[in-house]
Amino acid sequence: MTDVPPPSDAPLLCVGDTLPDALRTDRLLWFHSVNAGTDPLLAGATWPAPALLTRTVGRMGERIAQYVLGWMLAEAQSVPEFTEQYARAHWERLPSELVAGQTALVYGTGRIGAATGRLLAACGVRTVGVARTTRYGPAPGTDRVVPPGFDRLIGAAEDTAVLGEARWVISTLPLTAATEGFFGASRFAAVRGATFVNVGRGATVDLGALETALRDGRVRRAVLDVLPAEPAAPEDPVWQLPRTVITSHSAGITTDEDIAVDFAACWEDVTTGRRPGLTVDTGRGY
């Protein structure tokens, strides 16, 4: 979109991954992002308040859920250890563990978190969702509404006990003012041997606190699809984190088909007077 000429008097509908400052005017009616994460768009110049912002999700939830489950199963079958043994030409039988019956604490219960919860639950994993806001039933005194795919729902301030019970801690959190550095020393201090998987946003994690937790054994292993600064240069200290795998922001890459399908769905909603389901609340950041 860098080659788009300055806007004329005509209203603008744009599709892309970035929005140049020259187009951030009151002529912008709608911007559809080809990505799921919109924090880079909102971190730039002021967003033109009346403009609609939608995003592309496509089958990202399925892809990321599959990614998370894949790493969990690989770990349960000692694949990292066998890979290391192979490099040393060393034969040693290692035990496996079952994921069924163990606890996964999933931060974020939106589209991606819910898809992850559903897939893990189908494998017998006990899933606890963590949401910024929780809803209750219509009648006074009724229980919280638990989204499909989760056995239980808690608020972020209630996570300490479950952090100590979880075998896997999974983050699908977006980056907002409230989530930047969310996983810091205090949260990692509550972990008791869980593997930490981040498929949300890199800047939600204090990497120094994660390194400390890895080195003292509170965090068993880290699987990071996202980092605070991307791409990570070869000399970046993140490559020296112990028992860590980095997968270059590849867990849920959107395809051209995803973009076309989601834009068409948003177009249908807009032209029939409905608010698109993929609308981003620019105030909240997601």
Question: Could you tell me if 22 and 144 lie in one domain?
Answer: no
Question: Could you tell me if 54 and 70 lie in one domain?
Answer: no
Q: Would the CA dihedral through 68, 75, 118, 261 be positive or negative?
A: positive
Question: Could you tell me if 188 and 211 lie in one domain?
Answer: yes
Question: Could you tell me if 113 and 170 lie in one domain?
Answer: yes
pLDDT in tens, 125-150: 999 999 987 765 555 455 688 999 99
Question: Could you tell me if 86 and 207 lie in one domain?
Answer: yes
Question: Could you tell me if 39 and 180 lie in one domain?
Answer: no
* Cα–Cα distance, 130 to 144 (Å, whole number): 12
Question: Could you tell me if 93 and 149 lie in one domain?
Answer: yes
Read off the pLDDT band of 232 (50, 70, 90): very high
Question: Could you tell me if 67 and 196 lie in one domain?
Answer: yes
Q: 197 or 19: which carries more pLDDT confidence? A: 197
Question: Could you tell me if 18 and 65 lie in one domain?
Answer: no
Active-site amino acid positions: 201, 230, 249
Residue 141 belongs to domain with CATH number: 3.40.50.720
Question: Could you tell me if 239 and 154 lie in one domain?
Answer: yes
Question: Could you tell me if 184 and 160 lie in one domain?
Answer: yes
Enclosing domain of residue 116: 60-246
pLDDT in tens, 49-90: 889 999 999 999 999 999 999 999 999 999 999 999 999 999
Of 115-119, 240-244, 280-284, the range with the lowest mean pLDDT is 280-284
Q: 2 or 117: which carries more pLDDT confidence? A: 117
The pTM score is 0.88
Read off the pLDDT band of 113 (50, 70, 90): very high
Segment 244-270 mean pLDDT: 97
Q: Is the peptide bond before 40 cis (omega within 30 degrees of 0)?
A: no
Is there a domain that residue 44 lies in? yes
Check: CB of residue 102 under 8 Å from CB of residue 76.
Answer: no
Q: Give 51's contacts (C-beta < 8 A, 6+ positions apart).
A: 28, 29, 30, 31
Is there a domain that residue 144 lies in? yes
Residue type, 269: D
Instruction: State residue 44's pLDDT score.
Output: 73
* Cα–Cα distance, 2 to 162 (Å, whole number): 47
The number of domains in the chain is: 2
In whole numbers, what is the pLDDT of the chain averaged over residues? Answer: 93
Question: Could you tell me if 166 and 47 lie in one domain?
Answer: no
